[in-house]
Amino acid sequence: MKIIVIGAGAWGTALAVSAAPRHAVTLWARDATQAMALHKDRENRRYLPGVSLPQGLSVVSAASQPLDTRVVMHDLAVIATPVAGLRPMLEALAPVRNVPVAWLCKGFEPAARDGLGRMPHEVQREVAPALAAGALSGPSFAQEVARGQPTALVAASGEPSVREVLVNAFHGPTLRVYANDDLTGVDVG
């Protein structure tokens, strides 16, 4: 499976590190300088110091190729930005078809012009309703996942195929991923 993780913070890096031994994983960094440092150092010193990036993990930057063009070369896209960055990422991916998309963020986006802050599933419904999408969340921490400590996540989507690809991508001996169709509940929880 080919996975692209969009966002090279702690969570994005941790999931990329976790999946890289079993899949072809690309970690996409917005900042070209950060991408070069990750590639050169094979460590995310800013967000996950002490965690080595597997040799098979590719690191690219936003400057290398438009995001939607890069995403279509993968079987799964995972958005690992804060909730404030979800809307622009989903807008960029809205034209993408046949690639499931999941977000890792929680909470409410900053209030829009109408004064309402929306939850991730509401943002997706508003800006990219045709995307096969869902959330990957859980009672876990990036450090635990990156270090291979036992933890669990929930893959939530109204679409069984999205849940299935998320479980197949990340479920392993130390990271358990459980499927659920309650996307709203997972976003709230």
pLDDT, tens digit (0-9, with 9 covering 90-100), for 27-76: 999 999 999 999 999 999 999 999 999 999 999 998 887 888 899 999 99
pLDDT score, position 71:
94
80-131 residue pLDDT tens: 999 999 999 999 999 998 999 999 998 898 887 788 889 999 999 999 999 9
Q: How many CB atoms lie within 10 A of CB 112?
A: 12
Match 């079993």 to its residue by tokens: 22
Give the full edge-to-edge strand order of the sheet including 24-29.
Answer: 58-61, 24-29, 2-6, 76-79, 101-103, 133-137, 151-156, 175-180
Which one has a higher pLDDT value, 114 or 184?
184
pLDDT score, position 99:
97
- Give me 13's structure tokens: 């890096």
Q: Is 151 left (phi over 0), alpha (psi -120 to 50) or beta?
A: beta
Task: For residues 127 and 112, give the distance between their C-alpha atoms in angstroms, rounded to a whole number.
Answer: 13
Please count the residues of the chain: 189
Spell out where the chain has E strands: 2-6, 24-29, 43-44, 48-52, 58-61, 76-79, 101-103, 133-137, 151-156, 175-180
Torsion over CA: 145, 148, 19, 180 (sign)? negative
pLDDT score, position 63:
83
Task: For residues 94 and 82, give the distance between their C-alpha atoms in angstroms, rounded to a whole number.
Answer: 18
